A and B are shown apart, each in its own frame.
Chain A
C-alpha cells in the first residue's frame, strides 16, 4: 500500500540547480550526503569563527593581568558577539556529525549499545566543547563597563571550559575506538581505530592546563594546546574523509523505499 512505484532515475542533467534538484529527487544516498555536508560545513564554520572572528584559537595568554584581559575583550568586541551568535545558531549541526558516526557503528558487527551510547554522550558534547565557552565570552564582551574582576572571571570560565573539559570526548572516543577495533565488517580501517588512542590521550594531556598558568602546559601552551590541536585536526580530517569513503561504498541501488 505504501510502496511508491519504482521510477527509473533520469540521467543527471547539467547545470548546478538542475543537478541539485536531481540529487534531491533521485539520489538514494541523499540522507547521508545531507549529514556529511552539514558536518563539513560545521567544521569549516567552526574554524572560521574560532580562528578568524573570535580569536579564541590560538588562545590568548592565561597569565595576563586584569586590564590586559579587559583590553582583549574590547579589541574583539564585535568579533566575539557576531562569531558566537553564528555558533549559537549552527550548534545543532553537531548532531549531523554524531548521527553519521553513530550510523558507522550500526554498520559494524557490534552491539547497538555502541551507537546509542556514542549518540547519547555526544548529544551534550557541544555544551562543554564550545557553547559554555561561547556563553561566557559573549557575556564578557557584552558589557565593556562591567567590573574588570568579573570580566576576568568570565575569561577564565570561557577558556577553561574550552580547553579543560575532557570526559565527554574521552569516553566518546573510547566507545568509537572499541567498536572499530572489534568490528569484523571493516566499516572503518583499523589504523583509524588506533588513531582514536592518540585523540584519547590528548584529553589526558590537556588536564595539565588546570594546574599551569604559564609555559607549555598552560591553556595556550605548546604541549597542552598546539600538539593536542594538531592531533585533533588530523583526527577530524581523517574521520571526515573516512566517513565519505564509507558513504561512497554503501550500496543501496535505487530500488523502492522501504514501507
Chain B
C-alpha cells in the first residue's frame, strides 16, 4: 500500500473536521506532538543508560557473559513476543478508532492491557526465580544493571496502563472519543515496546 493510498483511505474514514487531508498525509503527527517530545526525552535517557551499560560491560566481558548464562532467555523471548503482540493490538486499535469502529477498538485496547499484565506476570516469575537462586540487585554489576533496567522498564509499563485506561475511557463513551488522545496513548505504549526491544538485545542476547 502506498502512502497516497493510505491517505485516501484515511480521508474516506476520517470525520470532516479531522486534520488528515489527502494531500498532507506526509505531514501528520500521530497524537499530540507533545507526546513525541516526551518520547524523545525518554529515548535519550534510556540511550544514556544503554551506553553506560556498554561502557561497563566491555571492562569485564567475562563476568557479564557468565552472568548472562543464568538468565532465562526463553522467558525473555516470550516477553518480547508478548509486548510485540500487545503493540500490534494497540496499532490496530488506533486504526479501528480512526475508522470509527469503537467497539472493536475498545476490545483491542483491552487485549493490549491483558498482554501488558501477562508481561508483568512473567517478569515477576523471572525475578522471583532469580532471587530464589540468590541472584540479587547487588550480586554483581551485571545483575545490578539487569534489575535496574528491567525494573525501570516495568515502571514504564505500569505508567503505560494509565495511558491504556485513558484510551479505553475515551473509546467507551460517544461523548469523548478523541482520536488524538487515543493516538497519544498508543504512542506511549509503543515506546515501552521499542525500549524493551533494546533492553532484551542488550541484556539477554549480545555476547
Q: Are B52 and A190 in contact (CB under 8 A)?
A: no
- A223 in the interface, Cβ–Cβ < 8 Å? yes
Q: Is A48 an interface residue (CB 8 A)?
A: no
With an 8 Å Cβ cutoff, the count of chain A residues facing the other chain is 22
Chain A residue with minimal CB distance to B147? Answer: A208
Contact between B52 and A223, CB atoms less than 8 A apart: yes
Total residue contacts A-B, CB cutoff 8 A: 58
Q: Provide the bound-state CA to CA distance between A128 and B34, in Å.
A: 32
A87, B126: Cα distance in complex, Å: 47
| A217 lies within 8 A of B34 (CB) | no
Check: A172 CB closer than 8 A to any chain B CB.
no
B88 to chain A, nearest CB (A): 24
Q: Among A189, A198, A215, A222, point to the contact of B144 (Cβ < 8 A).
A: A215
Instruction: Tell me if B37 is interfacial: C-beta within 8 Å of chain A.
Output: yes
Cα A195 to Cα B41 with chains together (Å): 8
Verify if B178 is at the interface (C-beta below 8 Å from A). Answer: no
| Complex Cα spacing A204 to B153, Å | 12
Q: Is B49 a contact partner of A227 (Cβ separation < 8 A)?
A: yes
Interface string of B117-154 (1 = CB under 8 A from A): 00000000000000000000110010010001000100
Query: Quick check: A223 and B38 within 8 Å, CB to CB?
Result: no
Partner of B34, one of A194, A198, A204, A211: A194
Give the secondary structure class of A's interface: helix
Residues on A with C-beta less than 8 A from B42 are: 198
Given A216-B56, A223-B148, A227-B49, the answer on whether A193 and B159 have CB atoms closer than 8 Å is no
State A167–B138 Cα separation when bound (angstroms): 23
**Given known contacts A191-B34, A204-B152, is B41 in contact with A198 (CB within 8 Å)?**
yes
B35 within 8 A of A: yes
CB distance from B11 to the nearest CB of A (A): 27
Which residues of B are found within 8 Å of A217, using beta-carbon distances? 144, 148
In the bound complex, do residue A191 and residue B45 qualify as a contact, i.e. CB atoms below 8 Å apart? Answer: no
Query: Do residues B159 and A191 form an inter-chain contact, with CB atoms below 8 A?
Result: no
A190 to B49, CA, bound (A): 26
Which residues of A does B touch, CB under 8 Å? 189-191, 193-195, 197-198, 201, 204-205, 208, 211-212, 215-217, 222-223, 227, 231, 234
**Beyond known contacts A201-B152, A205-B152, A223-B49: 16 more, CB 8 A cutoff:** A190-B34, A191-B33, A191-B37, A194-B34, A194-B38, A195-B37, A195-B38, A198-B45, A201-B155, A208-B148, A212-B144, A216-B52, A217-B148, A227-B52, A231-B45, A234-B41
Chain B residues within CB distance 8 Å of chain A: 32-35, 37-38, 41-42, 45, 48-49, 52, 56, 137-138, 141, 144, 148, 152, 155-156, 159
A-B pairs with beta carbons under 8 Å apart, 9 shown: A189-B34, A194-B34, A195-B37, A198-B42, A204-B155, A211-B137, A223-B48, A227-B52, A234-B41
A-B CB proximity, top 8 nearest: A194-B38, A191-B34, A190-B34, A191-B37, A222-B52, A227-B48, A198-B41, A190-B32
